[in-house]
Structure 1
Amino acid sequence: MPISTTSRSPPVLDFSAFYGSDAAAKQKLVAQVRECCLHNGFFQITGHRIPSSLQEKVMDCSKRFFDLSLDEKTKISKANNSYNRGYELLHSQILEEGTAPELKEGLYLGEEIPSSHPYFVNKKLNSGPNQWPTGIDNLEEFQQTTMTYYASMFELAKDVLAAVALTLDLPEDYFGSFVDGAVAAMRFLHYPPQPPDSNERLTRGVGAHTDFGSVTLLLQDEVDGLQVWDRDVEQWFDVLPVKGAYVVNLGNMMQRWSNDRYKSNLHRVINKSGKERYSIPFFFNGNPDYVIDCLPNCAVDEPANYPPITVTAAILGGYNDSYGRAERYKQTEAGKAATKRVGID
């Protein structure tokens, strides 16, 4: 059954059919996911296996972290390491060319990889121990909740990838070697409300961008702000929060894999609500050494649009672009300010 696109907002799909024994219901779900992947690569899912109690606890952890003083948060700055774990200041990133640095702060987290692990020793993508905020109340509970949630999201991402494999007429376990030894990045994000007089063309919680990895699963709070670009009608549409649901979107790897058949779509956050907004995205990046190459049934009658690329190269290229863009912006603004001061003096 075709998905209604009357509202043009990404549809909400009941993912429970993926786990059930009803073959027809599962086939219907796969068809719906396929339609979303072909349209704009976005949908929401309910009926997953993440308990609402765990969602609420991890969102509380996020809010507790951002309530800490700036001094406490910067003690675990991600600048302390080279593997992308720790606190990210406001205005650290520019994902959309031509906008100001983004109005968000974050905490990067991942699997707890000790310094003795081969991934850390060999400096694999995003691999190392987490940095934990020692100034937070009940740190042990904070860590336990965060890592329990991370592990649960890792399993859900694997299930979503299995469903996507079925949409491409591939075996459910096709992405097994990509998943084996995979790394993922989870971020606690906080978006202060945009100033009422801010220029929306310049000020973004997150600028318009596509994600770098394979799939992203996003837990939103009740405050809206996420928007998705609809290529067909060339408009932005809100992705309204659905309690307990995950927003799922395809990343650039999936578009490369499918030879542009599936979409890694533009999305952004503009927090005009006047409220604090919190979200927790989970970026499934895959095995760092895995080579992304065109899927065998996606270039039958046409050449591959992209050369092969490793997961590490794909992800680091996106990081370097967005963070480098923010640094260049700050240097330019500092230069303008210095020139103005000299002119006044």
Structure 2
Amino acid sequence: MAQLETLVETLDFATFHSLNSKIKTKFCESLVTSLGKNGFVKLVNHGLPKDIVQEAFQIANDFFHLPMEKKMLSPHPPSDVPHRGFSPMGMENIGKVTNFGVDETYHSKVALKDMKETYDMGYEHDPVYENIWPPIDVMPKFKPFMQKFWEMCYVVQQEIFEAIAIGFHLNPAILADMHLDQVNEMRLTHYPEIKLADLESDGTSQKTRISPHTDFGSITLLFQDAVGGLEAEDQKVKGVFRPVEAGEIDEMILNAGDCMQFWTGNRIPAARHRVHAPPAKQAPGPDGVQVADPNQVLPERFSIAFFTTPDRNASLQPLNPEWYSEKHSVTMTAGEFQLSRSSGTY
């Protein structure tokens, strides 16, 4: 099978800090253009040091390889709100909300189980939801490091919002000011090693680790290991997904969420994405004919996502009144929208 072409561009975020205003503005316009094409872009030199990202992955690895009884000492609540603490494999099913904003004529209606386990955390001073941390005697470094990493991601997030606003020639603070309450969520995800035969099919010739979906918030800052599998929907060919190849561990994958699509009147789309399995390797069958190897094992995979979420009372109306369209507009607040999108996933 021929490899599908990639579609995600790579931009150097260090250019955003140029002292030359023309160079800075040109970068911001390029960022908006790239997000507008694909809903995804890769950023390097974004401000999060490589050693910090590597340590975050190491701590995630250490946590997910704890015995189940120790991971369950910081359990996710039984409902979909709030996203806090540890969720074992099978607890969340993003496939239940995979059809949001989708033309049903081309999308598979199969609701797939997510083959992953996760750990969620939010702003430590959120007045509504408290964090759920591993006991200090189980993971002594977990809470202090993740709090520091969370805060660093928030600083980078606000710079990215400023860059997007400048790229649209809007007030540079218009997006950042709707994220002052820091109601974001950070998720560590582990896809355990699994036989390809044990994955469910989405109705195509391949199988999936997590169903196609859009993110609910503004933007997502994503890091992934070298295993790969992330795919984004081609905005020109709906229903076709193309790989978002894994680069260096500190390479940031930036994608737009539903709220960004509302604010920009679909000028920046919330691209659906999934974590897919590679095509099955072939092995000789009983009669010597090559067949899919039922014993093919997919290696474990890790990712870290910082989901930026607007302040709960923020409006989702377009940032520019001229961008209003009935199709890409909602009257709910950001908080109401988040609750509506997450309902039923647990």
TM-score band (shorter)? 0.7 to 0.9
Contact 1:64–1:136, Cα closer than 8 Å, also in 2 = no
Contact 2:219–2:308, Cα closer than 8 Å, also in 1 = yes
- Give every structure 1 segment of 4 or more consecutive aligned residues whose post-TM-superposition deviation is greater than 4 Å: none
Q: Which residue of 2 aligns with 1:247?
A: 253
How far apart in 2 are the matches of 1:277 and 1:135? 26
Determine if the alignment matches structure 1 residue 282 to structure 2 residue 306: yes
Determine if the alignment matches structure 1 residue 214 to structure 2 residue 218: yes
Q: Which residue of 1 aligns with 2:228?
A: 224
1:288 shift after superposition: 1.4
How far apart in 2 are the matches of 1:296 and 1:188? 35
Q: Which residue of 1 aligns with 2:243?
A: 238
How far apart in 2 are the matches of 1:47 and 1:19? 11
Secondary structure, counterpart of 1:314 in structure 2: helix
Q: In the TM superposition, what whole-angstrom CA distance separates every residue of 1:106-131 from its partner, at most 9, and x where no partner exists?
A: 00012213xxx7x23xxxxxx21332
2:273 corresponds to which of 267, 276, 300:
267
- Aligned AA (2:48): I
Contact 2:112–2:200, Cα closer than 8 Å, also in 1 = no
Contact 1:255–1:261, Cα closer than 8 Å, also in 2 = yes
How far apart in 2 are the matches of 1:8 and 1:22? 32
Structure 2, gaps ≥5 residues long: 96-108, 279-296
- Aligned AA (1:79): P
How far apart in 1 are the matches of 2:132 and 2:72? 14
Determine if the alignment matches structure 1 residue 147 to structure 2 residue 153: no
Q: In the TM superposition, what whole-angstrom CA distance separates every residue of 1:74-100 from its partner, at most 9, and x where no partner exists?
A: 121112785321001111222235232
1:167 shift after superposition: 2.0
- Aligned AA (1:320): S
Q: CA 1:311–1:37 in structure 2 vs 1: closer, same or farther (change >3 Å)?
A: same
Q: Which residue of 2 aligns with 1:45?
A: 43
How far apart in 2 are the matches of 1:167 and 1:250? 15
Q: Which residue of 1 aligns with 2:337?
A: 314
Q: In the TM superposition, what whole-angstrom CA distance separates every residue of 1:261-305 from its partner, at most 9, and x where no partner exists?
A: 2200110012447211000000010211212112224437x5574
Q: In the TM superposition, what whole-angstrom CA distance separates every residue of 1:112-157 from its partner, at most 9, and x where no partner exists?
A: 13xxx7x23xxxxxx21332244534x1x22221111100001111
- Aligned AA (1:128): E
TM-score (normalizing by structure 1) = 0.82
Secondary structure, counterpart of 1:155 in structure 2: helix
- Aligned AA (1:142): F
Q: In the TM superposition, what whole-angstrom CA distance separates every residue of 1:51-91 from its partner, at most 9, and x where no partner exists?
A: 11111111111000001111111121112785321001111
Q: Which residue of 2 aligns with 1:338?
A: none
Structure 1, gaps ≥5 residues long: 1-5, 121-126, 324-345
Contact 2:94–2:210, Cα closer than 8 Å, also in 1 = yes
Contact 2:313–2:334, Cα closer than 8 Å, also in 1 = yes
Contact 2:316–2:333, Cα closer than 8 Å, also in 1 = yes
How far apart in 1 are the matches of 2:138 and 2:7? 38
How far apart in 1 are the matches of 2:327 and 2:274? 29
Secondary structure, counterpart of 2:33 in structure 1: helix
1:130 corresponds to which of 129, 132, 136:
132
Q: Which residue of 1 aligns with 2:292?
A: none
1:255 shift after superposition: 0.7
Contact 1:15–1:48, Cα closer than 8 Å, also in 2 = yes
* Matching of residues 105-120 of structure 1 within 5 Å: 105-113=117-125, 119-120=127-128
